[in-house]
């Protein structure tokens, strides 16, 4: 496995030693409590910034600002004006993209080769949402009542949105929530993850530069147990859009009951990635590997249950292990690094705990299997690409979401069997199929109970294509016209004309 080089410490312009304040009503303010928390580089442990720690009082202020904006000036913006604003935001994000991508790398560890590589997706989302801003419409409906009645529907913004995002892709996650809110005419309070709040806050500066009116977008960093919980339960919030663990998602559903706010949830996964013997194995090896090793496995739809047809199981799993060993692990600032650190000490403890559990249960690590501490990695949270063989369906590493670069390789024999076993999980977010047989591809696409099925690829994403889960992976969709509906109410209008 390739080892990292020494990276020269150069301070990011946003990590300038000043306390990062929260954005409420167009102003950068300190937390009402005066509390702050630290944000550190997970590759080195170095302090990046001290950040205002929001809690219930700050959320209350932000909701008040969002409500006033929604009922005030923002409600008078025409679709064309919202579109122009989103396009201006896209231009500013594009201008500052290298800075934003490096900030993602510093704050949560993803290799800069990955964060820079999401340029098309991030900018594409903003410009797609801009297009959707002028595409919202109701419909006229022919009704069957006796007499003269004209009936039609209006699509109206749902109101104040509480958006809670994870730490595994701060820039993209922020835009995935803010974009549809602006396009539909909603206002939003964004609660970034405490592990990686810097990029969302820097994005807030660009939103102000673009001319987003005060109160339309508010950004309140803080902890999930305080700021996040307050946002989910606040009676002034009309909708919560959440991405994160299924356990937190369940708490949000409970908190939403107070005013029956709309909720959309994109939660965890334990996705099957299925490789048939007739697949193009040379393509499937890196495809199956990076379905898990990308972003150090910190992707909710990662294909962590690797089902391999028994006749090629030993050969294929060894090749995936060899591929994992070939990847360069280290500080994400190095453009040659392919696997960075985990985001935090807490996440490191979780993942290494599962490494121990897997071996205790009888799984065999073909590569990886332990934390990396040599050289410059001793201060960071590094786990190498790991491939477990001899995995059984009932092992914890095959059933529970690890959220690390860990593959559980499981043999199978036939199509019906692998569909049944692939579905034998409480989750249903992503899935992959590798085969040259078109009939198999269609059978698996229909048979797998997951929100996305990738055939001979993995993690393909586009702003126009919906993404979301079945079962414990949540409900509602991100991207696509389906996401826009999550931010809109439908009003029926009846007019008696005679």
Active site residues: 266, 300
Cβ neighbours around 120 below 10 Å, total: 9
CB atoms within 10 A of CB 325: 15
DSSP bridge pairs for 36: 52
Q: CA-to-CA distance for 231 and 238, rounded, in angstroms?
A: 10
Residue 309 Cα to chain centre, angstroms: 31
Q: Look-up: residue for tokens 């990029």? A: 199
Contact 129, 459 (CB under 8 A): no
**Residues 455 and 441 sit within 8 Å (Cβ to Cβ):** yes
Beta carbons of 242 and 252 less than 8 angstroms apart: yes
Q: 114: which DSSP letter? A: H
Check: CB of residue 458 under 8 Å from CB of residue 288.
yes
Q: How far, in Å, CA of 484 to CA of 477, rounded?
A: 9
How many other C-beta atoms lie within 10 A of the C-beta of residue 384? 21
- Residue-by-residue DSSP string for 319-387: HHHHHHHHS-BS-TTSTT-SB---S-HHHHHHHHHHHHHHHHTT-EEEE--S-B-SGGGGGS-B---EE
For residues 4 and 81, give the distance between their C-alpha atoms in angstroms, rounded to a whole number. Answer: 48
CA 321-435-327 angle, to 5 degrees, is 25
Residue 418 DSSP SS3: helix
Residue 109 is encoded by which pair of tokens?
């560890």
| CA atoms of 133 and 136, how far apart (whole Å) | 6
Torsion of CA 229, 230, 236, 240, to 10 degrees: -20
Q: Which letter does DSSP use for residue 228 in this model? A: I
Q: 493 - beta bridge partners? A: 152
Rounded to an integer, what distance in angstroms lies between the CA atom of residue 476 and that of residue 118? 23
């Amino acid at each position: 496995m390739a080892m990292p080089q020494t990276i020269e410490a150069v301070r990011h312009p946003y990590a300038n030693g000043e306390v990062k304040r929260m954005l409420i009503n167009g102003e950068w303010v300190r937390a009402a409590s005066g509390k702050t928390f630290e944000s550190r580089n997970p590759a080195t442990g170095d302090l990046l910034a001290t950040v205002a720690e929001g809690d219930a009082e700050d959320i209350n202020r932000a909701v008040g600002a969002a409500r006033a904006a929604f009922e005030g000036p923002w409600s008078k913006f025409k679709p064309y004006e919202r579109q122009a604003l989103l396009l201006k935001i896209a231009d500013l994000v594009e201008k500052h993209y290298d800075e934003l991508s490096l900030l993602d790398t510093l704050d949560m560890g993803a290799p800069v080769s990955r964060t820079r590589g999401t340029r098309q997706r991030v900018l594409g989302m903003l410009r797609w949402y801009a297009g959707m801003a002028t595409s919202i419409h109701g419909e006229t409906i022919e009704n069957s009542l006796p007499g003269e009645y004209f009936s039609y529907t209006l699509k109206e913004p749902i109101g104040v949105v509480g958006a809670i995002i994870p730490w595994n892709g701060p820039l993209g996650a922020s835009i995935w929530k803010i974009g549809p809110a602006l396009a539909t005419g909603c206002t939003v309070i964004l609660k970034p993850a405490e592990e990686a709040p810097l990029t969302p806050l820097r994005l807030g500066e660009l939103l102000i530069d673009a001319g987003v009116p005060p109160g339309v977008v508010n950004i309140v960093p803080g902890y999930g147990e305080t700021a996040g919980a307050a946002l989910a339960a606040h009676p002034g919030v009309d909708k919560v859009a959440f991405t994160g663990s299924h356990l937190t998602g369940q708490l949000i559903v409970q908190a939403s009951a107070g005013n029956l706010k709309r909720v959309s949830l994109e939660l965890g996964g334990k996705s099957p990635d299925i490789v048939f013997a007739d697949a193009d194995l040379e393509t499937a090896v890196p495809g199956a590997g990076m379905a898990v090793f990308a972003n150090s496995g910190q992707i909710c739809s990662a294909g962590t249950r690797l089902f391999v047809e028994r006749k090629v199981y030993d050969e294929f799993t060894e090749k995936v292990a060899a591929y994992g060993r070939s990847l360069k692990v280290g500080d994400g600032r190095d453009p040659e690094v392919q696997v960075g650190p985990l985001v935090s000490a807490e996440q490191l403890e979780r993942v290494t705990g599962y490494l121990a559990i897997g071996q205790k249960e009888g799984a065999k690590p073909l590569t990886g299997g332990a934390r990396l501490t040599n050289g410059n990695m001793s201060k960071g949270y590094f786990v190498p690409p790991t491939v477990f063989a001899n995995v059984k369906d009932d092992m914890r590493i095959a059933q529970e979401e690890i959220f690390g670069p860990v593959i559980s390789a499981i043999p199978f024999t036939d199509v019906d069997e692998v569909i049944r076993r692939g579905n034998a999980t409480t989750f249903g977010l992503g899935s992959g199929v590798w085969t040259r047989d078109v009939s198999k591809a269609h059978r698996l696409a229909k048979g797998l109970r997951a929100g996305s099925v990738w055939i001979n690829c993995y993690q393909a994403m586009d702003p126009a294509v919906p993404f979301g889960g079945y079962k414990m992976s949540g409900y509602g969709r991100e991207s696509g016209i389906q996401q826009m509906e999550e931010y809109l109410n439908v009003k029926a209008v009846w007019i008696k004309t005679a």
